[in-house]
Amino acid sequence: MMLRIAGASLAMGMAVIACSPAAVQDSAENTSEPAIPSGSLVPADFEVPVLVEGQAEGGRFQLVPLGPELVKVDFDAYMSSIEHLQQTFTRSTGWPHEGITDEDAMLDMETEQGRFQRRESFAYGVLTPDGSRERGSVYVRPSPVEGYDAVVMLWVTKADYDAGFDAELYGWVTNWIATDWPFQSVAYPGRAIAWEDWDAEVAAAEAADAAAEDQGE
C-alpha cells in the first residue's frame, strides 16, 4: 500500500523473523546504546525483518517489504477502499483517490523500497499466506515529535476492517514492535494517541523547528 504523505506510501502483519532489540544498557556498566547512523532509523547492527509471518483470529498473514513486485496487490488493496482509507487513515482526499496511474503506483513502490534499503523507514504489505492479496499495510517511520523513537501506522482494507482484522492486526503489530524492534517509545497516532492530540504535538514540533531556524538566520 501507499500513503501519499510527503510522496510516500503506508501498511500491516504475521509471525516474525526476529531481530534482537537494542538492549537498554545498565547505567552501572557505563556503556552506551548502539549508535544510529545518520539518516537511519535503527542502529547499524539491527537486522531489519524482511519476512514476517503472523497469526490472528482472522487467519494467518505475512508482512513483506513494499516494493515494485507488490505494486499490483498494493494498488488493488487501497483502490478497493478509497473512502474508508481517506476517513480512517490519511484523513485526506489526497490518498488514495480515483485516477491513480500505474506510473504513480510504481513510483510509490520504488520510493518505499529506497527508504527501506537506506533504513530511513520501513513499509510492509500485509499479505495472505500465498501472497495473492494484500490485506493492508504497516509503516515504521521516524517521529516528528521528540520523545518517540518511531511512529507506527497501519491500515487494512474495508473488507478486512469489517471482518475485525484491523483490531487484530494492531494488537499483533504492537507486540511485534515491542518484542523485535530496538525502540523504547513508539507513537501510534489514531490509536494509542488520539489524532487531535498527535496533530497538536506535530504542530508544536514544527513551530519549534521554524523558530529555531529563524534564530539561526
Per residue in 66-100, pLDDT (tens digit) is 999 999 999 999 999 999 999 999 999 999 999 99
- Quote the percentage of the chain above a pLDDT of 70: 84
Residue 212 lies in a domain: no
d(CA 40, CA 166): 29
pLDDT grade for 164, boundaries at 50, 70 and 90: very high
Is residue 31 pLDDT above 90, yes or no?
A: no
Confirm if 77 and 134 have CB atoms less than 8 A apart.
yes
Residue 195 lies in a domain: no
- Grid cell, residue 179, equals 518484542
CB atoms within 10 A of CB 169: 29
CATH of the domain at 44: 3.40.630.30
- CA geometry: angle at 18 spanning 12 and 22, to 5°? 105
Higher pLDDT: 11 or 123? It is 123
Is residue 6 pLDDT above 70, yes or no?
A: no
pLDDT grade for 171, boundaries at 50, 70 and 90: very high
Domain total for the chain?
Answer: 1
Higher pLDDT: 75 or 25? It is 75
Count Cβ atoms within 10 A of the Cβ of residue 72 and give its class: 0-12 exposed, 13-18 middle, 19 or more buried: middle
**Which residue range is the domain that position 80 belongs to?**
27-190
